[in-house]
Amino acid sequence: MGTNDIFILAIESSCDETSAAVIADGKVLNNIVATQSVHEKYGGVVPELASRAHQENLIPVVQEAILSSGISKDQLSAVAFTRGPGLMGSLLVGVSFAKAFAFGRNIPLIEVNHMNAHILAHFIEDPKPDFPFICLTVSGGHTQLVLVKDHLDMKVIGETLDDAVGEAFDKTAKLLGLPYPGGPLIDNYAKAGNPKAFQFPITRMPGLNYSFSGIKTAVLYFLRDQLKDNPKFIEENLSDLCASIQYSLVEMLLIKLKAAVKEYGVKEVAIAGGVSANSGLRESLSRLAEQKGWNLYIPKFEYCTDNAAMIAMAAHYKYLKGEFSSMDVTPLAKMKI
């Protein structure tokens, strides 16, 4: 490694995963993640518990990232952090640590938008998409269609007007009596089910926008009616229910994605975010891409969920453009691309 190498320490603490990574000249050297299991018994992320867990996990995670990178902290060129969007208490932990670290080492600070970073996870490893491309970003808090013109030039062209698709997965899973996080469990049960066993509504919004609150209500009333006649309806039909719910949610995602590709005339297509780990979405999208002749990019599972490697990648491109933050930067619970 030369004397002019760019080494950046990146920190991610937007929700319930504490993560740190080191990137050297655009090559991610590691991606250390500490997952919080404390939320499972509450059926969702508890913000106060999340921020406390970040406080416990952050220093060990950062220490491991620096040690395993083979780079000393004296060699670091900058420290990057997630500014938002996310849980305010969780973000505060990461931002405060990054500011203190940067001040102590006298190196620049780089703020990163979490949603931009999910998209830039595609540049961690080959193959990388060509510009422009359309990215379907799907997570517990966001569902967006983004036109990506360059690493730091992105435009949201469609988004959900209520629930994110990840919320829809988790909320319907809760109605089925599945523990949190329910999305991955729906995916697992769906593999053994018939996606056409039950019909749930496909919500059609104007333009390229989404709405996912309707399916939750439809499932609620459907289960209520079925359970009146058969109290064991859910357990007897769990796989088919999961497959049918997943089919409807994936179909809604793909209808708008097809429309966006047609409208913008782009054949480079990517997915990002936690829900992009869903096997039903991956398989349906792969089939669709083959039919339509799209070049499809799907990130590795470890880069789908919240991680510092994607924060590091976003920070690398911001460093090259000299986009640094001041010491009075504060976290933002809501932050637009």
CA separation for the pair 10, 82 (Å, rounded)? 8
* CA end-to-end span of the chain: 34
Residue 122's pLDDT band (cuts 50, 70, 90):
very high
Which pTM value belongs to this model?
A: 0.93
The pLDDT score that the predictor gives to residue 46 is 75
Residue 140 confidence (pLDDT) = 76
Q: Whole-angstrom Cα distance, residue 318 to residue 9?
A: 13
pLDDT (average), residues 1-28: 89
Cβ pair 183, 168 in contact under 8 A: no
State the alpha helices, DSSP H only, in the chain.
Answer: 47-69, 88-105, 114-120, 165-175, 182-190, 213-229, 233-236, 238-264, 279-292, 308-320
pLDDT of residue 139: 85
Higher pLDDT, 44 or 125: 125
Q: What mean pLDDT do residues 157-178 have?
A: 95
251-294 per-position pLDDT tens digit: 999 999 999 999 999 999 999 999 999 999 999 999 999 999 99
Q: Which residue has the higher pLDDT, 151 or 305?
A: 151
Q: Distance between alpha carbon 330 and the CA centroid of its chain, in Å?
A: 22
Closest Cα to residue 15, out of 282, 210, 273, 188? 273
Q: Which residue has the tokens 């435009």?
A: 155
Cα within 13 Å of Cα(311), Cβ side:
37
How much of the chain exceeds pLDDT 90, in percent? 87
Bridge partners (DSSP) of residue 246 are none
What pLDDT is recorded for position 3?
46
CA 131 to chain CA mean position, Å = 21
pLDDT tens-place string over residues 90-109: 999 999 999 999 999 999 99
Q: How confident is the model at residue 53 (pLDDT cuts 50, 70, 90)?
A: confident
User: Which has the closest alpha carbon to 296: 124, 130, 118, 154?
Assistant: 130
Task: Select from 337, 320, 307, 334 the least CA-distant residue to 121.
Answer: 307
Of 84, 66, 83, 54, whose CA–CA distance to 23 is shortest?
66
pLDDT at 39: 58
In the predicted model, what is the mean pLDDT of residues 217-225? 97
What is the spatial distance between Cα 188 and Cα 271, in angstroms, rounded to a whole number? 20
Torsion sign across C-alpha atoms 68, 59, 5, 122: positive
Number of residues assigned to the chain: 337
User: What pLDDT, on the 0 to 100 scale, is given for residue 42?
Assistant: 62
CA atoms of 298 and 288, how far apart (whole Å): 13
pLDDT band at 4, cuts 50/70/90? Answer: low
Q: How many contiguous H segments (helices) and E segments (strands) does the chain have?
A: 10, 11
Cα 281 from Cα 112, distance rounded (Å): 27
DSSP string, 45-57: --HHHHHHHHHHH
Q: Which residue is it, tokens 């299991």?
A: 37
Averaged pLDDT for residues 189-207: 95
Q: In this structure, what DSSP letter does residue 110 have?
A: E
Is the pLDDT at 36 greater than 80? The verdict is: no
